[in-house]
Structure 1
Amino acid sequence: MTTSNEVMADALELLLLNQHAVASGLEEVALWIKSRGAVDTHQNVVSALERLDMNAESITAAIERLRQDTL
Structure 2
Amino acid sequence: MPDNTEAHIATADVLTLLLHNQHALAAAIEEVALWVKANGSSEVHENAVTALQTLDVNASAITAGILKLRQS
Report TM bin, short chain: over 0.9
Cα distance in 2 for partners of 1:58, 1:7 equals: 18
Query: Normalising to structure 1: TM-score of the pair?
Result: 0.94
Please name the residue that 2:64 is paired with: 61
Aligned length: 68
Structure 1 outlier segments of 4+, above 6 Å: none
Please name the residue that 1:14 is paired with: 17
List runs of 5+ in structure 1 lacking aligned partners. none
List runs of 5+ in structure 2 lacking aligned partners. none
Cα distance in 2 for partners of 1:17, 1:36 equals: 29
Cα distance in 2 for partners of 1:46, 1:21 equals: 15
RMSD value over aligned CA atoms? 0.8
